[in-house]
Each structure stands twice: as structure tokens, then as C-alpha cells.
């Protein structure tokens, strides 16, 4: 008498972050799991995680819910960037529609240290409003999306060094130099950027993690102010894991619960 082979639990990871890739690596090593990672496709030549990969949008929460049902997804993990608020809302709505459990994987935010001169902002537009009173040469590390917030005439006297993985499109600040680079970054490298470009104010999103944190230490050493854009909250009612290890434990508990 043949023994039935258990059907693997299908986990869909909404990815694009280091944590998403690390979770996919762990899931791919478990024979009880089939893992698919979805990437938005906004970055050229992304580093692909193990397991199945799909690239591109879903067409909103209805499209995501339909994909989840069509492909037999049992568990949904939102491991997108902490500032991907629209995708996180879509994931919450889609999980509710498709009746699948949802977990948000979010690395902890940064915490100010002694010597930091942080200024909190609730949005990119609010960050832009703070700049004229803080400096004239801005190191803008918020990525290529949302540069329009810094392109207003009120900031035409400021000079911006814009760092992003891919080249930004218009609108951009009037006086802009683009630095194409991808983390992780080193403290020595960030010190050199601040020194060479005579940076006197840094703008960053509170992305958390170690890959881009050296700029905060370099700014602290240089005594320059940092405008930190607060991250949006996780949708109400969605449980949160802070590390891929915590997320893996949550998925394993789902495996045991499903028998």
C-alpha cells in the first residue's frame, strides 16, 4: 500500500528586501514548503532568491487575491520594503478576500544615538519643507521614487546628491548630481561622500537594517543634521515578525496547525 505524499504548503513571499531573500532561503530548504517570491520589477538585474520567482505587479488587491486562489497559496508573507505602504495594504485586503493567513516581515527601525541630530518627518514632502533651515548641500538617500517632493522652486537654491540603484527620471531637484550605487555601504565610503561633496544635511527614510546604516554614523561623526522620514504603520490586525527567523517560526507553526 503506497503512502500518500504530503502536498507542500505554498508560501507566497512579497519580496524585494534582504529579509525576504533570507526567508526564501530558509523556506526553500524545507521539503514541506513550496515557496514563490514576487518581485515588483522596479530594480534592474535584481538578485533572485531560491525557489520560484515571479516579477511584476498583480493589478491591486483583487488581482493579488485572484493569483493567490489560482496558484493555491496557503500562506502570504509581506516582506516588502517598510515604505511599500500601498503593497502592504493590497496584501492585507487580498489575504482577507482569499481567506489566507498574512504575516508582515519588518526589520526594526533605526534608533537615535548620542550625538545624532535627527529631525523627524512624516512624509517626503514634510522632509523637503525642513531642508532650507538645515543646510544647502543635501545627501538625498530616499531612492529614485518620490523625488518630485524635492523639485519645488522653494528648494532651487539647494544642491542635491541623489543616490539610487537606477537612474531617476524627472521631475528632479533643479540642482542635482546622481550617484548610482547599491548597498551595503561602508562607514569609510559614507565618510568620503560627505567630505568630498561637502554635505551639510542628510535625508533618509527609516528603512532600518545594517546595509544602509553607516550613513547615519558618518553624519553623526560629521555633526550634520539628518532628516528621518518615519515609516508607515503595518495594516491593522496584521501580525509582525522582526526577523526572517521569526517569520520562519510563524510559518512552521502554520505547518503544524495544518497537520
pLDDT tens, residue by residue, 135-168: 999 999 998 888 999 998 899 999 999 999 889 9
Q: Locate the DSSP E strands across 15-167.
A: 33-39, 52-55, 75-78, 102-105, 118-121, 137-140, 159-164
- Residue 245 has what pLDDT? 96
* Per-residue pLDDT, 7: 75
Tell me the C-alpha to C-alpha distance, in Å, between residue 85 and each of 79, 138, 226.
12, 25, 23
| pLDDT value of position 259 | 56
- pLDDT over 50 (residue 4): no
Q: Which residue has the cell 553624519?
A: 219
Section 118-126 average pLDDT: 97
Is pLDDT at 237 greater than 70 in this prediction? Answer: yes
Long-range pairs, 33-40, Cβ under 8 A, ≥24: 33/8, 33/9, 33/251, 33/255, 34/8, 34/9, 34/10, 35/10, 35/11, 36/10, 36/11, 36/12, 36/71, 36/73, 37/12, 37/13, 38/12, 38/13, 38/14, 39/15, 40/16, 40/80, 40/84, 40/87
Query: pLDDT category, 47, cuts 50, 70, 90?
Result: confident
* Structure confidence at residue 3 (pLDDT): 39
What's the confidence (pLDDT) of residue 40? 84
55-112 pLDDT, tens per residue? 999 999 999 999 999 999 999 999 999 999 999 999 999 999 999 999 999 999 999 9
Phi, psi of 58 (to 5 degrees): -105, -15
The pLDDT value given to residue 231: 94
With a cut of 70, say whether residue 43 has pLDDT above it: no
pTM of the predicted structure, to 2 decimals: 0.86
Mean pLDDT, the chain, whole residue set: 92
SS3 9: strand
Q: What is residue 41's predicted lDDT score, i.e. its pLDDT?
A: 73
Mean pLDDT on 208-222 = 93
* Mean pLDDT along residues 217-239: 97
Amino acid at each position: 500500500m503506497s503512502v500518500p505524499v504530503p502536498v507542500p504548503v505554498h508560501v507566497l513571499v512579497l519580496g524585494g528586501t534582504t529579509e525576504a531573500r533570507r526567508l526564501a532561503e530558509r523556506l526553500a530548504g524545507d521539503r514541506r514548503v513550496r515557496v514563490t517570491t514576487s518581485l515588483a520589477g522596479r530594480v534592474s538585474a535584481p538578485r533572485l532568491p531560491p525557489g520560484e520567482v515571479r516579477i511584476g505587479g498583480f493589478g491591486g488587491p483583487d488581482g493579488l487575491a485572484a493569483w493567490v486562489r489560482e496558484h493555491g497559496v496557503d500562506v502570504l508573507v509581506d516582506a516588502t520594503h517598510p515604505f511599500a505602504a500601498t503593497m502592504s495594504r493590497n496584501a492585507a485586503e487580498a489575504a482577507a478576500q482569499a481567506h489566507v493567513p498574512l504575516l508582515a516581515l519588518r526589520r526594526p527601525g533605526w534608533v537615535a544615538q548620542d550625538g545624532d541630530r535627527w529631525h523627524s518627518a512624516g512624509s517626503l514632502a514634510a522632509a523637503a519643507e525642513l531642508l532650507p533651515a538645515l543646510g544647502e548641500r543635501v545627501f538625498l538617500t530616499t531612492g529614485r521614487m518620490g523625488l518630485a517632493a524635492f523639485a519645488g522652486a522653494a528648494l532651487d537654491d539647494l544642491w542635491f546628491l541623489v543616490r539610487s540603484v537606477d537612474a531617476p527620471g524627472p521631475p528632479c531637484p533643479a540642482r542635482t548630481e546622481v550617484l548610482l550605487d547599491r548597498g551595503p555601504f561602508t562607514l569609510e565610503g559614507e565618510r568620503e561622500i560627505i567630505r568630498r561633496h561637502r554635505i551639510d544635511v542628510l535625508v533618509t527614510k527609516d528603512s532600518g537594517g545594517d546595509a544602509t546604516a553607516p550613513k547615519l554614523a558618518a553624519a553623526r561623526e560629521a555633526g550634520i543634521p539628518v532628516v528621518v522620514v518615519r515609516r508607515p504603520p503595518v495594516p491593522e490586525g496584521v501580525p509582525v515578525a522582526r526577523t526572517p527567523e521569526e517569520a520562519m517560526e510563524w510559518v512552521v507553526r502554520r505547518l503544524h496547525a495544518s497537520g
